[in-house]
Amino acid sequence: MTPRAAGWTLVFLSLHCLASGVAADARTVVHEDRLGNGLRIALAPDPAASVVAVSASFDAGSRNEAAAALGSAGRTARAVAARVPGLEASANQERAVLSGSFAPRDLPRALESLAAVMRLACRPEAAELAAPPAGSGPLASEADVALLRLSYASFSYAHPAGGAGPDRGAIAPFFCRHYAPNTLVLAIAGRFETKTALRLARTVFTSLRRRRSPPPVATGARPPSAERRLTLNDPGLQAPRIYVSYVTVRADQPDWYALNILADALGNGEGSRMQRALVAAGLASRFLEGMTENRAPSLLRMRVDLSGPTADPAPVEEAMDRELARLREEPITPAELESARESERSAAAESRKTSLDVANTLSRFVTYFDDAKRLDGELPRLLAVTAEDVRRVARRYLVKENRAVVVARPWPGSGPAARGLCCEDPGRCRESVVKAPPGRSRRGARLRVWP
């Protein structure tokens, strides 16, 4: 598994976190602090860096959106970032992030600008916030939306982040509810002096008033009782695609690490199992996989692009099932295990290339898990996974009754007449699903983008 993230349109998430050439037992110096208003601070100084990077991570992702205001997370993040020169916004299911790199002398101005915008929350002036007209955010594919709905029982995770968002009037309420100091993790990495940065952050943000915490988010996945299947028609496709998700565990659980190594063995590199069984065999033109990183039960996701417009998905699914059965029955080989570990080392290096990468990774781990030590601890946990661990999680999670499958077929023409949707449970699956053009989505610091 390589860098990836999900929200698909498509993107998948893996996990990696050390710089290239750095030993797995190396440690990043991280200083943590928590202000009286609940704001959490994580600092990772690097005297060798030339810039200082800021990652302001708000616990305000699409999982916090109301059904009547889809897109609020991304649109609010863009509206806030527009008021802070040098910061760019992104949002996924779990959080909204405002991040950027600065010359060290410009750090005070950036933090003061962010605090000034946060002071507008719950005040009449917040109604003036508006997201920039350009860059409306990534748009999820119809198949991706359907796969989430088949995987999660709770609305909070059954819809992806992205899209243009609601009208301007929805920004102020979301901003008031979710942009408080007690929902913010401020990570700073790069060239700065620790005591000076801490003093600056305290001076700038201490006066912000803590607000009532938003209600807990429902994180339930659909119970593993029966396979859930859906077939839809997509006029944008040139050949059929198969999307599969298996419900697994939260990303702070031990099995999550073993599932990442399992995903690597399935699809990372030409010698991986699905690449040989599907792509090399001519059944498919592409196979992609990845683990999401969620505070809800995470998903092991796969996508298969078939090799032609009239290709039959059935033989492809049969070949996939045979490979998954092999994973449940016998351990992966030492060569496969080492290949998976090398993939994680490489992706770890990518996630630590720059000060901004470090700041975004650090703020993600503190936001999701309140765990700054995961910055250095994730890769060793991945490398400690054994072949028997992989077989154990395959037996537990990669079973038919625990999966959702969406088969998307090309359909000639365009417009409403060219769309179709059906599934084994019409009462649940014939609800309205919005068609969206391909786009890009970002989850955390590591991603694989699918066109």
Angle (nearest 5°) at CA 2 between 319 and 287: 25
Q: Both ends of the chain: CA-CA distance in Å?
A: 18
Q: What pLDDT score was predicted for residue 235?
A: 86
Host H or E run for residue 286: strand 284-291
Are the C-beta atoms of residues 444 and 13 closer than 8 Å to each other?
Answer: yes
Q: What pLDDT score was predicted for residue 140?
A: 74
Place of tokens 């029982």: 153
Q: Which residues does residue 408 pair with via DSSP β-bridges, in sequence order?
A: 232, 241
What tens-digit pLDDT sequence spans the chain (451 residues)? 433 333 333 333 332 332 333 344 457 889 999 999 999 999 999 999 999 999 999 999 999 999 888 899 999 999 999 999 999 999 999 999 999 999 999 999 999 999 999 999 999 999 988 888 655 555 678 899 999 999 999 999 999 987 666 677 789 999 999 999 999 999 999 999 999 999 999 999 999 999 999 999 999 888 888 999 999 998 889 999 999 999 999 999 999 999 999 999 999 988 899 999 999 999 999 999 999 999 999 999 999 999 989 999 999 999 999 999 999 999 999 999 999 999 999 998 888 899 999 999 999 999 999 999 999 999 999 999 999 999 999 999 999 999 999 999 997 654 333 344 433 333 333 322 323 223 322 222 222 222 2
Report the Cα 172 to chain-centroid distance in Å. Answer: 25
Domains of the chain: 228-354+371-449 (3.30.830.10)
Q: What pLDDT score was predicted for residue 301?
A: 97
Q: Is the dihedral of CA 233, 237, 242, 248 positive or negative?
A: negative
Q: What pLDDT score was predicted for residue 134?
A: 59
Integer Cα distance of 424 and 403 in angstroms: 14
Give the count of alpha carbons within 13 A of 450, CB side only. Answer: 28
Q: Is the peptide bond before 10 cis (omega within 30 degrees of 0)?
A: yes
pTM (two decimals): 0.84
Max Cα–Cα distance, the chain, nearest Å: 64
**Phi, psi angles (nearest 5°) of residue 245:** -135, 140
Are the C-beta atoms of residues 223 and 139 closer than 8 Å to each other?
Answer: no
Integer Cα distance of 75 and 393 in angstroms: 38
Per-residue exposure over 373-408, b if at least 16 CB sit within 10 Å of its own CB, e if not: ebbbebbebbbebebebbbbbbebbbeeebbbbbbb
Q: What pLDDT score was predicted for residue 26?
A: 52
Amino acid, res. 53: A
Integer Cα distance of 77 and 81 in angstroms: 6
Assign 423 to helix, strand or coil: strand
Integer Cα distance of 337 and 268 in angstroms: 11
Tokens of 368: 């999701």
